[in-house]
Amino acid sequence: MQFVYALRSKGVTDGRVLTAMEKVDRAKFVRGIFADRAYDDMPLPISSGQTISQPSVVGLMTQALQVSNRDKVLEIGTGSGYQAAILSHLARRVYTIDRYRRIVSEARGVFEELDLGNIIPFAGDGSYGLPEHAPFDRILVTAAAEDPPPLLLAQLRVGGIMVVPVGQSDAVQNLIRVTRTDTGYEYDELRQVRFVPLVEGMGD
């Protein structure tokens, strides 16, 4: 309950998002010595030098994505799998990609343990998206890109929304919401964030 109060105080007010976040135990996605910090509002280290995002940032990004239970969602940057697990309670189906095979296989294990059957994890370079499953109603990028990746924009359906941190990886980035319209794309700046970079190619 403390966890939900903390989220509310940081601006996560959408009831569906808060309910989904209440259902997903963050401790399942954090290993070893950091497990007892799972309910703190801070990013934590996971495998392969990556991080599980701060819960309030996960909440604000999920809220900005305006997911409905009919949506097919693509997430770039599976990491711990925490964000995908929250999306799985809000969407019809969640495709998630990470460039580290180890990260994907660990996340897949947690999705199976939690019986989250509507998440489909892939190992691959997320900058290419998943053309064979496009178009997507929603796309969430959880690594910082220098610009919204053009191949991902192309896989958004008309009326669809993409949320992506944009900026250099060593600086503060802007969280951007892109809405695809009949004639092009509309961009809104939401807030400042800090994410690890979107890196081309597969990880080790």
Binding residues (CB under 6 A) for ligand SAH: these are: 50-53, 76-77, 79-80, 82-83, 97-100, 103, 125-127, 142-143, 196, 198-200, 203
Structure tokens at 149: 């990746």
Shortest approach of ligand SAH to residue 145 CB, angstroms? 9
Give the residue with the Cβ less far from ligand SAH, 99 or 108: 99
For residue 183, the minimal CB distance to ligand SAH (Å) is 29
Q: How far is CA 38 from CA 54, 67, 160, in A?
A: 10, 25, 32
3 state SS of 15:
helix
Closer residue to ligand SAH in complex, CB, 91/198? 198
53 is catalytic: yes
Cβ atoms 198, 141 nearer than 8 A? yes
- Cα separation values, 33 from 36, 91, 111, 125, Å: 7, 32, 22, 30
- Closest CB 71 distance from ligand SAH, rounded Å: 17
Question: Judged by CB, which is closer to ligand SAH: 79, or 183?
Answer: 79
Q: Which is nearer to ligand SAH, 103 or 176 (CB)?
A: 103
Report which of 141, 143, 195 is spatially closest to residue 170, judged by C-alpha positions.
Answer: 195
Q: Tell me how far the alpha carbon of residue 134 is from its chain's centroid.
A: 17
Check 9, 47, 48, 53 and give the catalytic one.
Answer: 53
Q: How far is the CB of 12 from ligand SAH (least distance, A)?
A: 15
Contacts of 183 (CB under 8 A, 6+ apart): none
First-residue to last-residue Cα distance in the chain: 39
Q: Give catalytic residues, as residue numbers.
A: 53
